[in-house]
Amino acid sequence: MRKIEVVQNILGANESIAVQNKQILDESGVFALNIMSSPGAGKTSLILQTIAGLKDRLRIGVIEGDVASTLDAEKVKNEAVAVVLITTRNMPESCSLTASMIATALKKLPLADMDLLLIENVGNLICPSEFVLGEHRRVVISSLPEGDDKPIKYPMIFADADAVVINKIDFLPYVEFDIAAFQEHVEGLNPRVKFFEVSCKTGAGMENWCAWVQKEVEASAYKSASLNISLGGRGIR
């Protein structure tokens, strides 16, 4: 019972900070995506492709979460408006980003110069599902070489996702991955989820993905602007 209480306290404190993070993002007019996957599924590749597809329309910042290395941050730093690296190796929660880590990172970002924040979470299909960060949408990437059984083995992360990106579809002729069965399993957990089949290597499917991201950013901005007007300029942006 004591262990359960401690976990509940940790998650409760995390959620309170996440609410504050979201308010900061909303007030700054920044839309945030929490991108999660197992290691090697293509989080950094998706971020780079997203920046390439939207950089003429949106100002994009990145938070890179990694256990130890700076490799992913190095890949992204010349493409985004700004990049903040969070290294979790010596953190109490090393297997996932947490809301308090994001709160610290937000202070280092030029939020006034951004429209979209892409958060690359630590490669893990368990821990990141437990910690909300203050993001507006949660995205899970699953790649073909991993196999189509991930929604069965790790249901929680798929149940909470707003979008699932099936990456590396260029591997389809070479691996056993039943896309229809995969989608059926995910929809059984989460009927509202949106699917995107992409190859970050060839660029296939990226146009649809980028169009969805831009639509979500614009919808969030419109909603915030409408609320601000309805409250006589006193609402959050």
pLDDT of residue 236: 34
What topology does CATH give the domain 2-230?
A: Rossmann fold (3.40.50)
Residues (pLDDT < 50) of the chain are 1-7, 231, 234-237
77: closest CA among 66, 64, 89?
Answer: 64
For residue 11, the model assigns a pLDDT of 74
pLDDT of residue 2: 41
Kindly state the greatest CA–CA separation across the chain. 58
pLDDT at res. 68: 79
pLDDT value of position 145: 97
pLDDT tens profile 112-127 = 999 999 999 999 999 9
